Structure 1
């Protein structure tokens, strides 16, 4: 067999939506819990199972990695190198930075040597891997991604009139390079006591005033909404420093390692390298290791117009440019005409809308919205047809 319909884990994190997954895919929520994420893959914290037998996907892979994953992926990664998700955020997730591959390896080794338990609240490195991510919006999807251009940061702090930070802001304005941005971000992350209270009071006063610019209105609105969930949190300054973005359904963006970001609200598909390494920078009651955060952050602004990815459209398939080899992501349009897709590794196909039938070596599986199938590499090729849209995760 080379096609396996998946039974996937739903994670009930507190920030999840109680109705979005049900409305989009008809997946029941009998206890009316937050349904935050559907996990598709072989991750130990939420491994998919085969719909027919209940066998964990990880066991299927481990029984014959060479056939299931293909020679390159088996040798390069030793397992399925990505985790594919539906992510439905009702309230903001924490502001995060993910370390790069080399620093993840060093940090994981160091914390192991120090004897820090993997489940310790102050553990930064849960594994030796990096965690680049792609998000594809299924609904309008609010987020933050990367530092704003420095002149925008200066303008927003001046508009908000955060006079407590005038000294740091004037240095950033005068020098305007990545070192100055690092110093400014570090100063905000290190605010405490009366100075933190004064800066937040000035920010709250800005929330109450009419905005003077479109950029200021959006940034302060994000901050004001964050305050409803994380009062007096240092992350309330983040929208003044980070690009705010709202993806429309069908738009996608990439989130690089060492780049601060946060998912704010909306439902989308997310694909990432297999890792749990997270360094937090606000909007959280959890541990924040400021020195480690600073050491793992690149202080290079991202132009707002460069955030959205431009897919390459070819023969009914949209391919998204991704600068890592852990995963690839395509959107396939299934029509009445059967189309062939050749494999270079194992894949997971998720039905976004409509109905699509996946066929290979005499097997056929029909997917409805919210359903997914694992395609083993040993099938070499599969066909898809129907009247729907499929999201394709591969590497």
Structure 2
């Protein structure tokens, strides 16, 4: 069960309400906020703050500041009048459930709209960057052409000046050796033959074959259908993760050569997990992560151990860390992302945070929509969020 925050403070004016929620040491990046006109949720595991407002607020004109160990919300009232209470006085669970579901639906719509706006903005920025680059290339091409024209003109002027200073002597073409006058017609056939030969087309070129080879691609999808840049970035990060090994452990001297290899430790942890030795697997993954903090599989597998050992908050943290490392999202890491998302969603559900768990399961279902087991689990959690009894 989450720990509900009760030591919040609030104040109000005729037009606004100010609420301060202590974060109890949580980093700003770990704070999840969901806000609507009737509802506010601030979640920073294992703590949770929920507020069902006494009257509606204007969420579009409201603001939030998270930092320095506190989250401060400045909420604008829709009606300028004094509130008798900050939250609803009745404890109607059915009304709160409907408000929570409506808030979740509105939040998902807002996130989707923001994602679309972000995609459009990114496309516009890419187009602007491309146009700017093309303009710069045109300017550079014009500059080079002007330099060429200037150099050509300079050389032409120097050549004319040199010719004026070094006149070429005229040849006496009135006579040719051994043939008398140039006006006699003896050499005319020779000139006509030379001219005729110069006008003949050159012989055809010999036929041949040109061998073309292509660099094999690591990913099987066609280039026009794939995310080439994301795939290359993922390969680069995978190679970097294999190279990064920390060597500043004090007990490194006591480890064997195999125990200094994160891949060997991962395999050992996998074997322990399969055999049911979850603590042994956890210790192997812990040491492997101390040696290499860039391998997403280590965090995802350690999250599975925490689930078995009921360390649910640690399972959420490790799953989130694995998802941070599993970027960019490409086909090669789709299965790994699904496993990490489902493990985090399972931890949320075991903490009875079904709304958060449903978000994760729906995200995993978007990656693998044909997964029957995932469809059944998602529907079961959706029924629990909506108040339907589980099968």
TM-score norm. by structure 1 comes to 0.20
Structure having the higher Rg = 2
TM-score norm. by structure 2 comes to 0.20
Structure richer in helix, relative to its length:
2
Higher relative contact order (CA 8 A, sep 6+): 1
Structure richer in strand, relative to its length:
1
